Structure 1
Amino acid sequence: MKKTILSLALTTVFGLSAIANPIDGEKKTVKTDKSTVTWKAYKVGGSHTGTINLKSGALEFDGEKLVGGEFIVDMTTINTTDLQGDYKNKLDGHLKSDDFFSTAANPTATLVFTKVEQNENNLYDVTGDLTIKGITKSIRFDVSIDGNKATATLKVDRIKYDIKYKSGIIGTAKDKLIHDNFDLVVDLQM
């Protein structure tokens, strides 16, 4: 009898704690080898484009509805795709330097979704914490889900992350002026 009462008591306690703390939604791991992150940075009179690799990532779903996500980007993989040879190597090196992303001290950047609101069937308004160079700032962007694919475009203000190289008008170097915002176009495969 005591054994039965103890079993019932334990079942009730663990059953109630399961109701109070529901299991998280389904996490779908992103296939980093099939996903792409493309960047585009602008300057007076032109732009540069390139890629950067995801180290890891996952989107969280409640049924078919997107409810969360988190990603780690490998900042050491910054790659310029619109230049070749010495110009490419110089820009890649400069982007990794302390003038820009300080990849030796900050080899990764992260994005963690903090709020997800569904706008339409497959379109979501997402707010997340983006961390670059150890600095975390809130960012908003749209995410579109189509089966096992997700796409997003983020506009990042580099000044918020202490990337101030040639921001604003500096002396007579107006033709080398770099815009404060750069774009990230993300195509994810799960």
Structure 2
Amino acid sequence: MYVKASPNRFFYFCTRKQQNSNFFKQFNMKKISVIALVGVGLLLASCDKGKTAESAATSQEQTVAESKGETLAVDTAASVVNWKAFHKGGMAPRWGTLTVKSGDISVDAGQVAAGNFIIDMNSIKVDPASVTEKDKKPADLEAHLKNPDFFDVAKNPTSDFKITSVTDLKDAPKDAVAGANKTVSGNLTLSGKTMNVTFPAKVDVTENSAAIQAKFTVNRADWGIKFGTSEADPAEWMISKDIEIAIDVKAKK
């Protein structure tokens, strides 16, 4: 004796099985999508964690502050510009130094009134400690930074910063240089293009000297340095547009 299954019951069974199959496929796809979104979130978070300095406010070139009072010459041996850049989603940071070639700071009534610093782009150095890959060499990275992909130093051997204003700083951002007491604005020229940047700084003036210390982040694409900034290519998108700049300029009589 046997029970004959009706066509309707057989159709119901097959349809239910197909629905279950589709459900699990959709569930797995959603699961994969969530994992992918989490991965992207972690990647973006790692990019943010790489930065240690606030982004400078950027605008068009402004009128340079007039020199007045006493002018002090920059002590190039005691001054330096440190830089830091990232790629691979904020990982594998590179850092190094640039030499201050010349400059001066004007002091009037005990306050910095103006200033001008010339940076030697041919002096760019990559700290060997930042190059951990066995197939990479600091000298090769320095050569790449000097070529037209980045700073094109053959065409633009120097960069410069010219102060446009110095004002009192009330509340220093958490990532500002220690002891920040002023807001400094100035025209920063990189690769032949000039933009005005504003950032918190520590400014000290004594009877015989003046010093400016600051750290801030700029977007190199604002200066037309766009190598590796295309979001259409995932490999290029992983190269950060941010450059952290830390200046330590000292001037004396």
1:59 aligns with 2:105: yes
Equivalent residue number for residue 117 of structure 1: 167
Match of 1:7 in 2: none
- Please name the residue that 1:91 is paired with: 141
After the TM superposition, which of the residue ranges 34-43 and 94-103 deviates more from structure 2?
34-43
| C-alpha spacing 1:54/1:172, structure 2 compared with 1 (3 Å) | same
Q: Which one of the candidate residues 180, 191, 214 is aligned to 1:152?
A: 214
**Could you tell me which of 226, 231, 245 is aligned with 1:184?**
245
Preserved contact between residue 168 and residue 177 of structure 1 (Cα < 8 Å)? no
Name the TM-score, length of structure 1 as normaliser.
0.79
In the TM superposition, residue 171 of structure 1 has moved relative to its aligned partner by 2.5
Which residue of 2 is the match for residue 79 of structure 1? Answer: 125
Out of 33, 52, 74, the residue aligned to residue 30 of structure 1 is 74
The alignment partner of 1:46 has SS state of coil
Higher strand share: 1
Equivalent residue of 1:187, what SS?
strand
Cα RMSD over matched residues? Answer: 2.4
Residues 173 and 122 of structure 1: CA distance in aligned 2, closer, same or farther (over 3 Å)? closer
Given that residues 168 and 178 in structure 1 are in contact (C-alpha distance below 8 angstroms), is that contact kept between their aligned partners in structure 2?
A: no
**Preserved contact between residue 168 and residue 179 of structure 1 (Cα < 8 Å):** no
Note if 1:126 corresponds to 2:165.
Answer: no
What CA distance in whole angstroms lies between the structure 1 residues aligned with 2:249 and 2:197? 19
In 2, the alpha carbon distance for the partners of 1:54 and 1:160 equals 22
Structure showing greater Rg? 2
User: Would you tell me which structure has more helix in proportion to its own residues?
Assistant: 2
Say which SS state the counterpart of residue 68 (structure 2) adopts.
coil
Distance 1:60 1:50 in 2: 28
**Conservation of the 8 A alpha-carbon contact between 1:170 and 1:177:** no
Q: How far did 1:170 drift? A: 4.6
What's the TM-score once normalised by structure 2's chain length? 0.61
Identity of aligned residues (%): 30
Secondary structure in structure 1 of the residue aligned to 2:137: helix
> Counterpart in 2 of 1:139?
197
Structure 2: distance between partners of 1:122 and 1:164: 31
Does 1:107 pair with 2:157?
A: yes
Q: Which runs of 5+ in 1 are unaligned?
A: 1-22
Runs of 4+ in 1 over 4 A off after TM superposition: none
CA distance in 2, matches of 1:61, 1:47: 37
Aligned residues: 168
Aligned-partner Cα distance in 2 for 1:95–1:105: 13
